[in-house]
Structure 1
C-alpha cells in the first residue's frame, strides 16, 4: 500500500445536460501516479475498469468517502466528482481551492 496522494485543486463548476456538477481536475504528479496505478491494475487483472476509472478513498476536511477518478486527455488529467453532500458538509462552493487526500484502491 502506498502513501496517500495529497494535493490542492480548484473546485470547478460544470453545467451538463442533466444538471450542475462540481469536480476537481487532478493534474501533475498526482495524475501520473494515478495513471501508473491504472496501468499496473490492468497488467495484474488483464482489464480496465469502467471508463478507465480508478477506485479511490477520498478525504476533504473531515469528510471521507469512496469514489472513482476518471481519465481525461490520455490520462494526463483525472476528474473527481464532488457531491452536494460533501460540498455542504465542508462548506465548499465553485472556485474554492480544496485540499484533498486520495488513497488509490
Structure 2
C-alpha cells in the first residue's frame, strides 16, 4: 500500500543539536496505517517503509507520535533534494511487510 502526500520538514526539538528532521504523515493516512498494522509491532511501534522524495528512495521506518506517524528524512536525502526544515516535500511512503 502506498501513500503520497505533501508535508513540511521539521526538526525534532528534543534532538535539535543532532538535526533530526522529520515529516508528519497526514492524519487520515496514519489512521488507515494504524488500522492495517493492528497487533504486535517492532520497537516503538515502528513500521518498515520504502520512501521516495524527488529522485531519492530509501528504506526506513515510520513511528507513531502526536496522533500521526512521523518519518525521519535523512541528511543525504535532504542534501540530494536540496531540502531544509520548513520546506514542503512531496513524499511517497510504501508500507512493507504487509
State the TM-score bracket (shorter-chain normalisation): 0.7 to 0.9
Distance across 1 between alignment mates of 2:22 and 2:74: 8
What's the counterpart of residue 31 of structure 2?
32
RMSD: 1.5
Which residues of structure 1 form unaligned runs of 5+? none
Q: Offset of 1:67 from its aligned partner?
A: 0.5
Q: TM-score, normalised by structure 1?
A: 0.82
Question: Which is strand-richer, 1 or 2?
Answer: 1
Residues 33, 97 of structure 1: alpha-carbon distance in 2 compared, 3 angstrom cutoff: same
Q: TM-score, normalised by structure 2?
A: 0.88
1:62-73 alignment, distance < 5 Å: 62-73=55-66
What's the counterpart of residue 14 of structure 1?
12
Structure index of larger Rg:
1
Check conservation: 2:9, 2:85, Cα contact below 8 A.
yes
| Deviations 1:37-90, CA, capped at 9 Å, x for gaps | 221xx2xxxx221111111110000100011000013xx311100111000010
1:1-105 alignment, distance < 5 Å: 2=1, 4-15=2-13, 16=15, 19-39=18-38, 42=39, 47-73=40-66, 76-105=67-96
Runs of 4+ in structure 1 deviating by more than 2 angstroms, as ranges, are none
Distance across 1 between alignment mates of 2:92 and 2:11: 20
Check conservation: 1:7, 1:99, Cα contact below 8 A.
yes
